[in-house]
Each structure stands twice: as structure tokens, then as C-alpha cells.
Amino acid sequence: MSVADLLAEHGSPLWLANIDVVRDRYRAFAAAWRAEWPDVDIAYSHKANRLPAILRALAEKGAGHQVACEAEYCLARTVAEADGRSIVVQGPAKPPALLDRAAADGALVIVDSLAELRRVATAGVTRVGVRVCLPGVGHGTSHFGVPMSEVQMAPRHAAGLGLRIEALAVHLVSAGFDRPMAEIGRLASALVVKWPQPPERFATAARMLAGLAGRMGVPVIDVGGGFPPAPQEGMYARAVAGAIGGAGFEGRVLVEPGRALVAEAVDLACTVTAIKRLPDRRRCIVLDAGTNLLPGTLFAWTEIEAAGSEEPPGEPAVVTGPLCTNVDVLHTAAPLPPLVEGDAVVVRGVGAYQQSQSTQFGDMRPAVVCRDDGHWRLCSRRETLEDLLASDLGVDVPQAVR
Ligand SMILES: Cc1ncc(COP(=O)(O)O)c(C=O)c1O
């Protein structure tokens, strides 16, 4: 089925989620890590994309779940039918209801401070890990993790609460700052996306974590996410395995891939709604989808193609979305062929941190079609006015606008 056909049937814009690609990416990722280390658990990081069809497909392949909030936790338990022990809870603010669920199900909870150990113990959590803020790895100071100066105290602290530290964790965040935070006037002016970080950086972090785990008697190291997709995953697994093996670590490795599994699996199909010349004579193409659906565009330009067109790229185009804001720009010079109003356009590889961070700033949210075993099917319908008003108390949607 062509993109134009899918748009005609399900409306525009439209998410195109290729579940076959998600399965492939998981298979390759898991095989690469298991070839390098004998004991590896993989917990998919829901925040990258929590589309139920993706969660179900990954769970069927054996993936665990890394969740950061109660909604993700509940999706893991219900949609993906996850055993609580395959869930890793990580995030800077864990509400009591999330900790209660983790305690009841035996999920692993990674704390970000020693004080949080008391909070999780009080909630009845029995499996705990500690996220470590490794010096010189990642992007400098952040609010994540326990500083190295404190982390050695964690086992004693935990023992006093009747807990044993099961895991040490790190996550090399992929978006950082290019100058110290204190010098930044506005965050966006200094944000950089450096993804993926080179394998040596992961190796350095893993080596430090393995050394600490050895000294603290911790059996699991959690190397977080930030990994690239196939075909590079093997190189990263090898670098990490070499580093931790060299540091004498013999325990379990937990990996939390997000974008590696989903980034390339989802595209956004949309429609050209206007073509115009800007005052500086540049070609401008206005689409019915913008940064409301693709907020990641604020950090990196998207890859945009004319759907089904064989024509070579013409004059570079400024591509904008439908929002009444000057930052609603998807590309400043997209290499697109000549286009007319109504043409279908596809924004490629937007499966990670786009759909999951998209907002209701703009029109109703699009439907999602999934490609499963080679066939496209509707897996989430377009939002309706009733959905928009579902949480509003006291408004009856007139029949006429349903
Ligand atoms: C703790 C943790 N693990 C894993 C991930 C997944 O990262 P990525 O999508 O870059 O693989 C994230 C994302 O922010 C995270 O916060």
C-alpha cells in the first residue's frame, strides 16, 4: 500500500510504525550483546516510544521494561503483560503510587540519591540499585545519580534499611550542554545532541561501574541506554564487555536501549498544505504536521522525502508546520523535488522521543498504522473531539460535532 493510499484511508498526518523493523532491531541488539557477554538482560526504555504495538512486540521477543513513571509501569504490566521482576524503575521523581506497585511486584528500583533509599525501603521495595554520577563521563553535572563521593556509603546505608544493593547504573545522556549550565542564559541556546557517544565513552563508564561493583559487592551493572541501532550495536557491546571483563566483573549486565530499537521504525506521513515564496525568495513548503508532533526537530533537522516520487531534489525548501509559532520549522533547506499542494511527504526515522513527546498544541493527534508481518493495519485511530473533552467535567459534546 502506498503512503498516499494510507493517508487517503486514515487521514493526514499519519504515523507509520513498522513493527517488523522493531522486531528486527531487537533481535540484532540482543544477539550482539549475548555474543559478547554470557549474562545480559535487556529492558526496553518506554520513554522512547510507548506505542502499545511496539511494547507488545518487544515483550513477545523477551524484552524487559525500563519505566520512569506510573503510566509506563502500568503499560508494562497490562499491555506487555510483564512480570514485575522484568521491570526496572528509573527516574528522578518516583511518585509513591509507582513505588507501591514496584514493591508489590518485585521490580528493580534504581535510586538517584541515598535519601531515596529510605523512601523506597519505606514503600516496601526489596530490589534496589543505585545510579552513579560518574565524573568525566557523560555531560558533566546533572541532577541524575549519586555522586562518587557518596556512592561507597550506599551498601551500609542500604543494610541499615534491610536492603542489599543489587545493581549500579549509569546512563550516558544523549542530549547535553555545550557549556557549563551556570553560564547558560537559556537552556535551548546551549543544547547539543551528540548521539551516539563513541563506544570508548561507554567502555570508560562501564569500566568505572564494574570497578565500583567489585569493591561494593554488587552483582549487576546497568549500562543504561544511548546505544546506536544496527549495524553498530555489536561494536558497543564489544567495547563494554571488554571493559568490564578487563575490570574483573563477572556478574549480570543490564542494558536499557530506547532509540536503538525504535528510532528508524517509525515515519510520519503528512500532506503539503501550501507552497509559497518567503520574502527572501526561498521556496517554503507548509505541512499539516510540525514540531507539535516532532518536537525533536528543535534539536536536529528531520529527514524529509516526497512520498513515492522518483524525481531528483530540486531547489532546497524551508519546510514548516501548521503551528502559529516561528519555531515550527522541520527543515531550513530540505532537498525535495518540486511539490504541489496535496502531495504526500514522509518524515523518516522519527520513532524515538517524537511521538512520545508530541503535544496537543495543534490539531487532533494522528492515527497510527502499523506494519506487521508485511501488512499495514490501523492500530490507533485519530483522536476525536470526544477524546479531547474526555477529562473535562461538564461539557456535553453536541451530536453535530462528533
Ligand atoms: C535511565 C534511562 N535508560 C535508558 C534510556 C534510553 O536511552 P536511549 O533512547 O538513548 O537508548 C533513557 C533515556 O533517556 C534513560 O533515561
Q: Which three cell numbers stand for residue 292?
A: 507539535
> Is residue 186 pLDDT above 80, yes or no?
no
Minimum-distance ligand 1 atom for the alpha carbon of 48 = 9
Distance of CA 337 to the CA centre of its chain: 31
> Which residue bears the cell 563508564?
205
- How many Å lie between the centroid of ligand 1 and the Cα of residue 330? 24
What average pLDDT score do residues 299-325 get?
94
* pLDDT bracket for residue 196 (50, 70, 90): confident
Q: Is the pTM of this model over 0.85?
A: yes
Of 81-95, 144-158, 168-182, 327-341, the range with the lowest mean pLDDT is 168-182
Is 367 in contact with 382 (CB distance < 8 Å)? Answer: yes
- Output the pLDDT for position 217: 96
Instruction: Classify the phi-psi angles of 226: left when phi > 0, otherwise alpha if psi is within -120 to 50, otherwise beta.
Output: left
- Which domains are assigned to the chain? 3-15+264-384 (2.40.37.10), 19-261 (3.20.20.10)
DSSP bridge partners of 304: 347
Judge if the beta carbon of residue 260 lies within 6 A of ligand 1.
yes
Integer-rounded Cα radius of gyration of the chain: 23
**Ligand 1 contact, 354 CB (< 6 A):** no
Instruction: Tell me the HSE value of 262 on the side-chain side, using a 13 A CA sphere.
Output: 30
pLDDT digits (tens, 9 = 90+) for 356-398: 999 989 999 999 999 999 999 999 999 999 999 999 887 666 6
pLDDT tens column, 162-182: 999 999 999 987 555 667 777
The answer to whether the CB of 257 is under 6 A from ligand 1 is: yes
* Greatest CA separation for the chain: 70
Nearest-angstrom CA–CA distance, 256 and 171? 9
Q: Assess whether the C-beta atom of 226 lies below 6 angstroms from ligand 1.
A: yes
Phi, psi at 306, each rounded to 5°:
-80, 125
Rounded to the nearest integer, the mean pLDDT of the chain is 93
* Cα(133) to centroid(ligand 1), Å: 15
Task: Provide the residue count of the chain.
Answer: 402
Question: How confident is residue 138, by pLDDT bands cut at 50, 70 and 90?
Answer: low
Report the pLDDT value the prediction gives residue 16, as an integer from 0 to 100.
98
Query: How does residue 401 score in pLDDT terms, banded at 50, 70 and 90?
Result: low
CA of 71 to the centre of ligand 1 (A): 17
387 CB neighbour count, 10 Å cutoff: 13
Q: Kindly state if the Cβ of 70 falls inside 6 Å of ligand 1.
A: no
> Does residue 91 have its Cβ closer than 6 Å to ligand 1?
no
Dump pLDDT digits (tens) for 11-48: 999 999 999 999 999 999 999 999 999 999 999 999 99
CA 253 / ligand 1 centre spacing (Å): 15
Counting ligand 1 atoms within 8 A of each CB, the residue from 171, 222, 354 with the most, and so the one to mutate, is: 171
